[in-house]
Amino acid sequence: MSQPPRLSAATLDRLPPAIARPGYDRSTARAGIVHLGVGAFHRGHQAVFADDALARGEAGWGIVAASLRSPDTRDALAPQDGLYTFALRDRGSIEARVIGSILALIVAPEDPEALIAAIADPAIKLVTLTVTEKGYGIDRATGGLDRSDPAIQADLAAGAVPRTALGFLAAGIDRRRLAGAPPLTVISCDNLSKNGEILRTVLAEFASLKSEALGRYVSDEIAFPSSMVDRIVPASTEADRATIEAMLGVRDAWPILAEPAFDWIIEDRFAGPRPPFEASGVRFVADVEPYEHMKLRLLNGAHTAIAAIGLLAGFATVPKAVADPSVGRFLNRYWDETEPTLSIEPVVSRAYRDALLPRFSNPDLPHRTSQIATDASLKVPQRLLAPLRERLERGESVDALVFAVAAWLRSCAGVSDAGVPFEIKDPALSAWAGRPSAPLPPSAETEAFLSFEPVFGRDLPQHPRFVSELREAVAEIADQGVLAAMKRRFG
300 sits near ligand CS2 (criterion: CB under 6 A)? yes
Residue 318 near ligand CS2 by CB under 6 A: no
454: closest CA among 197, 161, 141? 141
Intra-chain end-to-end CA distance of the chain, in Å: 53
Read off φ and ψ for residue 199, nearest 5 degrees.
-65, -40
Q: Which is nearer to ligand CS2, 145 or 298 (CB)?
A: 298
Tell me if 231 contacts ligand CS2 by CB under 6 A. Answer: yes
Residue 223 main-chain phi, psi, to 5 deg: -100, 140
CB of 415 to ligand CS2, least distance (A): 22
Q: Decide whether 172 or 196 has the Cβ nearer to ligand CS2.
A: 196
Looking at residue 6, what DSSP letter applies?
A: B
Q: What minimum distance in Å lies between the beta carbon of 324 and ligand CS2?
A: 19
Measured from the Cβ of residue 479, the count of other Cβ atoms closer than 10 Å reads 10
Nearest distance from C-beta of residue 193 to ligand CS2, angstroms: 13
Residue 372 binds to ligand CS2 (criterion: CB under 6 A): yes
Q: Please report the DSSP string for 415-451 in residue order.
A: B-TTS-B-----HHHHT-TT--SS---HHHHHHHHHT
Distance CA 469, CA 12 (A): 59
Q: Select 77 or 365, whichever has its Cβ closest to ligand CS2.
A: 365
Q: CA nearest 130: which of 193, 66, 183?
A: 66
**Nearer of residues 134 and 435 to ligand CS2, judged by Cβ:** 134
- Residues in binding contact with ligand CS2, number by CB under 6 A: 10
Pairwise CA distance, residues 467 & 447, whole Å: 9
Find the Cα–Cα–Cα–Cα dihedral 339, 342, 344, 347, rounded to 10°. Answer: 10
293 touches ligand CS2 by CB under 6 A: no
Considering the complex, state which of residue 297 and residue 471 has its C-beta at the smaller distance from ligand CS2.
Answer: 297
When the beta carbons of 106 and 372 are compared against ligand CS2, the nearer one is: 372
- Of 191, 201, 208, 236, the residue at the interface with ligand CS2 (CB under 6 A) is 191
State in angstroms the smallest separation of the CB of 133 from ligand CS2: 9
Distance CA 320, CA 340 (A): 28
Residue number with CB closer to ligand CS2 (34 or 307):
307
Shortest spacing between CB 230 and ligand CS2, in angstroms: 4
Residue nearest to ligand CS2 (CB): 303
Choose among 278, 131, 275, 255: nearest CA to 191.
131
- Which range, of 79-87, 211-219, 225-233, 247-255, touches ligand CS2 by CB under 6 A? 225-233
- Does 487 engage in binding with ligand CS2 (CB under 6 A)? no
- Least distance from C-beta 437 to ligand CS2, angstroms? 26
CA distance 169 to 136: 11
Nearer to ligand CS2, 206 or 315 (CB): 315
Enumerate residues 6+ apart whose C-beta is below 8 A from 47: 35, 63, 65, 99, 101, 102
Query: Contact at 8 Å (CB) between 295 and 328?
Result: no
Between CA 163 and CA 154 the distance in angstroms is: 8
Q: Which is nearer to ligand CS2, 232 or 413 (CB)?
A: 232
Tell the smallest beta-carbon distance from residue 234 to ligand CS2 (Å). 8
101, 50 contact by CB (below 8 A):
yes
| 364 part of the interface to ligand CS2, by CB under 6 A | no
230 binds ligand CS2 (CB under 6 A): yes
Binding residue (CB under 6 A) for ligand CS2 from 42, 125, 297, 303: 303
CB-CB contact of 105 with 66 (8 Å)? yes
Taking the complex as a whole, the smallest distance from the CB of residue 94 to ligand CS2 amounts, in Å, to 19
**By CB under 6 A, residue 298 contacts ligand CS2:** no
Residues 212, 207: Cα–Cα separation, whole Å: 7
Q: How many CB atoms lie within 10 A of CB 437?
A: 6
Nearer to ligand CS2, 191 or 326 (CB): 191
When the beta carbons of 205 and 292 are compared against ligand CS2, the nearer one is: 292
Query: Which residue type occupies 216?
Result: R
- Tell me if residue 36 falls in helix, strand or coil: strand
Q: Of 56 and 231, which CB lies nearer to ligand CS2 in the complex structure?
A: 231
Q: Which stretch binds ligand CS2 (CB under 6 A): 229-237, 344-352, 385-393, 404-412?
A: 229-237
Q: Which of 373, 251, 391 is nearest to 305 (CA)?
A: 373
Q: Contacting ligand CS2 (CB under 6 A), which of 47, 50, 165, 232?
A: 232
Question: What is the rounded CA–CA span in Å between residue 455 and residue 460?
Answer: 9
3-class SS shares of the chain: helix, strand, coil, % to 5: 50, 15, 35
Per DSSP, 34 falls in state E
Only one of the segments 117-125, 227-235, 242-250, 458-466 lies at the binding site for ligand CS2 (rule: CB under 6 A); that segment is: 227-235
Listed ranges 57-65, 87-95, 215-223, 228-236: which one lies at the site for ligand CS2 (CB under 6 A): 228-236
Please list every residue from 390 through 449 that binds ligand CS2, using CB under 6 A.
none
Q: Which residues bind ligand CS2 (CB under 6 A)?
A: 191, 230-232, 299-300, 303, 371-372, 379
